Amino acid sequence: MNRVALLLATALLFQFSCSADGGPSLAVTDVSVYAPVPGSGSSVAYMTLQNKGNADVIIEAAASPQFRRVELHETSLEDGVSRMRPVSSLSVPAGGEVQLMQGGVHLMLLEPRQDLQSGDTVSLEIQHNEGLLIVDATLQSRFAVNE
Amino acid sequence: MNPLRRNIALVFVLLAFVGGSLLFFRAFSGGNAAPLHATVLPQPVQLPDFTLIDEDGRSFTKASFRGQWSLLFFGFTHCPDICPATLQQLAIARSQSIEQDLEFPQIILVSVDPERDTPEVLAAYVRNFGTDMKGLTGTDEQLRRLTKPLGIYFEKSAQTSDNYSVDHSAAVLLIDQDGLWRALFSAPHSVDEFVNDVPLLTGAD
């Protein structure tokens, strides 16, 4: 019986791929979220996603109470032409990290539900195969002044 | 010669050597006169005839470039990544240059998304990056009269009916005060490339 429980516990541990200390696998650092530029109706979030677990974590979707839609997009620059395409999912390798950054994969924040200014706080809900990661961030300005 | 006089003489010899070396280096490197990032066109290129409208709804033609240097970027307001980042880099470069008492060209965003970028939308958008930044728009045909001869590409990439992106050339073009295309900055961009190269190209240093 103990052996069954042990096997079950091992299987669960494998499935949820917790980090070595038993905490959640996915963590974020270096979060930058920009306030939408008036007229644009959209904005962007960059961050580093770290996977402390022993299995890959798959980012499946994202949402935010402050935006009607949040989509995972990738910008590429090829032969001087910038292209942006939706990304259906993103894998963060076990023990590794993925950077969401300018000119690469990023979270596109669409249709703000309210007037958002730099200094306001927004919440990003990152849906992955192990659960939900909530990231709160203060909006930065795209203005040239005070940069 | 006593030791003190000998040391003073030695210092003078050293100073002369260092000063001479610096002059020699400047003479052969041309100071810092060569642009580090920009591609200077071998011959200035005449802009094609075109008519667009600016963020205030006024007509903007080739003649509107006369009298001041301009930096032209082609983008759209629904672009969350490279467009606002480039305009921010240009705006920061402009404010850094003006702080150093250097003249800096006017910055112009030419929309490649005329469907959504009306003059009103552009006005709200460009003013975030500086009160004197301009935004130009027009019909697809009017825009292509300017972009095609310059080799600037743009094409709508449909995702869903109400949500699309626009693929576009991400270069920044430098136009002189006579309306001639003089140089090209290729993406990815940085504040430093504009701060360093623009004054060299416009003769503002």
State the pLDDT confidence band at B36, using cuts at 50, 70 and 90: confident
State the pLDDT confidence band at A17, using cuts at 50, 70 and 90: very low
Distance between alpha carbon A131 and the CA centroid of its chain, in Å? 13
List of chain A residues whose C-beta atoms are within 8 Å of the C-beta of residue B87: 142
- Other CB atoms within 10 Å distance of the CB of residue B200: 18
In the predicted structure, residue A1 carries a pLDDT above the cut 90 = no
In the predicted structure, residue B19 carries a pLDDT above the cut 60 = no
Handedness of CA B188, A67, A49, A32 (dihedral sign): positive
In the predicted structure, residue B91 carries a pLDDT above the cut 70 = yes
Task: Say if the Cβ atoms of B95 and A37 lie within 8 Å.
Answer: no
User: What SS3 class is residue B194?
Assistant: helix
User: What SS3 class is residue B157?
Assistant: strand
In the predicted structure, residue B161 carries a pLDDT above the cut 90 = no
- Written as one string, the DSSP assignment of B50-102 is -EEEETTS-EEEGGGGTTS-EEEEEE-TT--SHHHHHHHHHHHHHHHHHHTT-
**Partner residues linked to B167 by β-bridges:** B155
Q: How far apart are CA B169 and CA B160, in angstroms?
A: 22
Question: Do residues B136 and B150 lie in contact, with contact meaning Cβ atoms separated by under 8 Å?
Answer: no
Task: Kindly state the average pLDDT of the residues B19-40.
Answer: 63
State the pLDDT confidence band at A13, using cuts at 50, 70 and 90: very low
Give residue-wise pLDDT tens across range A34-68. 999 988 889 999 999 999 999 999 999 999 999 99
- Written as one string, the DSSP assignment of chain A is -HHHHHHHHHHHHHHHT--TTSS-SEEEEEEEEEPPPTTT-EEEEEEEEEE-SSS-EEEEEEEETTEEEEEEEEEEEETTEEEEEE-S-EEE-TT-EEEE-TTSEEEEEEEESS---TT-EEEEEEEETTEEEEEEEEEEP--STT-
- For residue B10, give how far its alpha carbon lies from the nearest alpha carbon of chain A (Å): 48
Q: According to the model, what pLDDT value does residue A26 have?
A: 95
* Stated pTM of the model: 0.81
Distance between alpha carbon B179 and the CA centroid of its chain, in Å? 14
Q: According to the model, what pLDDT value does residue B96 have?
A: 93
In the predicted structure, residue B98 carries a pLDDT above the cut 90 = yes
**Partner residues linked to B78 by β-bridges:** none
Task: Kindly state the average pLDDT of the residues B188-201.
Answer: 95
Task: Say if the Cβ atoms of A77 and B153 lie within 8 Å.
Answer: no
Question: What percent of chain B clears pLDDT 70, i.e. is strictly above it?
Answer: 82
Q: According to the model, what pLDDT value does residue A146 have?
A: 39
Q: According to the model, what pLDDT value does residue B64 have?
A: 97
> How far from B121 is each of A16, B26, B83, CA to CA, in Å?
46, 49, 15
Q: According to the model, what pLDDT value does residue B204 have?
A: 75
Question: Looking at the complex, does the CB of residue B47 fall below 8 Å from at least one CB of chain A?
Answer: no
Q: According to the model, what pLDDT value does residue B163 have?
A: 77
Question: Do residues A139 and A124 lie in contact, with contact meaning Cβ atoms separated by under 8 Å?
Answer: no
Q: According to the model, what pLDDT value does residue A2 have?
A: 56
State the pLDDT confidence band at B53, using cuts at 50, 70 and 90: very high
Q: Is the ipTM above a cut-off of 0.90?
A: no
Task: Kindly state the average pLDDT of the residues A22-39.
Answer: 90
Q: According to the model, what pLDDT value does residue A11 have?
A: 45
In the predicted structure, residue A3 carries a pLDDT above the cut 90 = no
Task: Kindly state the average pLDDT of the residues B72-92.
Answer: 95
- The residue in chain A having the minimum alpha-carbon distance to the alpha carbon of residue B129 is A143
List of chain B residues whose C-beta atoms are within 8 Å of the C-beta of residue A43: 80
Question: Do residues A147 and B88 lie in contact, with contact meaning Cβ atoms separated by under 8 Å?
Answer: yes
State the pLDDT confidence band at A147, using cuts at 50, 70 and 90: very low
Question: Looking at the complex, does the CB of residue B81 fall below 8 Å from at least one CB of chain A?
Answer: yes
Q: According to the model, what pLDDT value does residue A20 have?
A: 54
Q: According to the model, what pLDDT value does residue B10 have?
A: 65
In the predicted structure, residue B177 carries a pLDDT above the cut 50 = yes
List of chain A residues whose C-beta atoms are within 8 Å of the C-beta of residue B81: 44, 73, 75, 84, 102-103, 106, 108
Task: Kindly state the average pLDDT of the residues A97-122.
Answer: 95
Distance between alpha carbon A136 and the CA centroid of its chain, in Å? 11
Give residue-wise pLDDT tens across range B103-157. 999 999 999 999 999 999 999 999 999 888 999 999 999 999 999 999 999 999 9
